[in-house]
Amino acid sequence: MKVVLCGPPHSGKSCLRQGLKSILSQLPDAPYPYVITACPDGEGAWFHETATNNPELAKQLKKLNKQTFSQEFANKIAADVACCIEELVLVDVGGIIDDKNRLICGGATHAIILAADPADFAAWLQFCQQLNLQVVAQIESCYQATADRIDGIRDNVLYGAVHYLERGEDLSDRPMIQKLAEHLLALPPVK
C-alpha cells in the first residue's frame, strides 16, 4: 500500500507523517512504515527528530536541504514511488495541486487528505479521484484546538480532526493518529 499524505500547504502533513510513523513502528504486527519525502522543502524524515532535539540546527539544515521543485526532482521521486516494494509506504507530498505532484502520486494506491480548512477537501478529493487514489481518511487539521475528534468511518474513509500538529511535539498519543494507524492496518491488502 502506497499512501499519499496530501492537502494544502502548512496543514501539518509532515508532522502527521512523523506521528503516524511513530505509532506504526510501535505496533507489533504492523509493517515497517517506509517514508518517501516527495517535497523539496528541506523537511526530510530526519527533520522531526532534529527539530525536537536541536531546533536551531534543524532550521539551519532545512535551509541547506531546501531544493527547487524541478521536473528532474519530480521524475526521480515518481520513479521511487512507482518502484518501491515495501508493504506500507507513506508519501509526503507538497501542498500544491500541479503536474509534478500528479506525476509523483501516480504510482501510489491510497491517500490521506489533511486540511485546516474543510473547504479545501473538494479540490484534493478531485485530485485523488483523477489519479485513482483510494481516499482512506479526510482529517481536519485544527492547530488551535486542544483535543482530537474522531467522527467515524464511512465507506472505508476515516473522518475527524487532529489538533496542534507542531514540530517537536510527541504525536504518538493523539487519538486521531492512533485511529488512522489502526484504520490503515485494517484495510484490505493491495493486489
Domains in the chain, please, with CATH?
Answer: 2-186 (3.40.50.300)
Residue 45 has pLDDT above 60, yes or no: no
**Integer Cα distance of 156 and 3 in angstroms:** 14
Question: Which helix (H) or strand (E) element contains residue 51?
Answer: helix 47-53
Of the given ranges (37-41, 79-83, 98-102, 116-120), which has the lowest mean pLDDT?
Answer: 37-41
H or E stretch covering 76: helix 71-83
In 3D, which of 114, 89, 101 has the Cα closest to residue 11?
114
pLDDT score at 9: 93
pLDDT at 153: 98
Q: Which residues contact 47 (CB under 8 A, 6 or more apart)?
A: 14, 58, 61, 62, 167
Question: So what's the pLDDT on residue 89?
Answer: 98
**pLDDT tens, position by position, 115-172:** 999 999 999 999 999 999 999 999 999 999 999 999 999 999 999 999 999 988 899 9
Residues with Cβ within 8 Å of 106's Cβ and at least 6 positions away in sequence, in order, are 78, 81, 82, 131
Percent of the chain at pLDDT above 70? 87
Residues paired with residue 4 on neighbouring β-strands, in sequence order: 91, 111
Q: Name the more confident of 41 and 4.
A: 4
pLDDT of 149 reads 99
Instruction: Tell the residue number behind the cell numbers 519530480, with chain if given.
Output: 74
Q: Which of 118, 111, 68 is nearest to 92 (CA)?
A: 111
Q: What is the mean pLDDT of residues 1-6?
A: 98
Sheet of 157-163, strands arranged across = 33-38, 88-93, 2-6, 110-115, 134-142, 157-163, 149-154
Q: What is the pLDDT of residue 190?
A: 84
